[in-house]
Amino acid sequence: MSKKVILKGRVQGVGCRGYCAVYARRLGIRGSATNMSDGSVRLVLDSDDEKILQRYISALLTNPEGHHFFGRITDVDVSDYSGKVSGDYLF
């Protein structure tokens, strides 16, 4: 089952969607990122591997490879998602 991840903080207009895509590609995760009207970013990830998802979220929060990201993620909400993986930024 896919996962929906909501990122909150300073996540729009700061390269967040591309930043999320870089770490997803490194971990072999396919998905999408979309800016939401409330200022958050919604990720839809085509993976149900909990270990990979935890590594991915940890990487987003700590940026271990030092990729350019000019924002800050302050909250992450993960839930199951049964819809189609779609959005305005596919990876």
Active site residues: 17, 35
SS3 category, 35: strand
Task: List, in order, residues 6 or more apart from 21 with CB less than 8 Å away.
Answer: 33, 89, 91
Structure tokens belonging to residue 25 = 């590609």
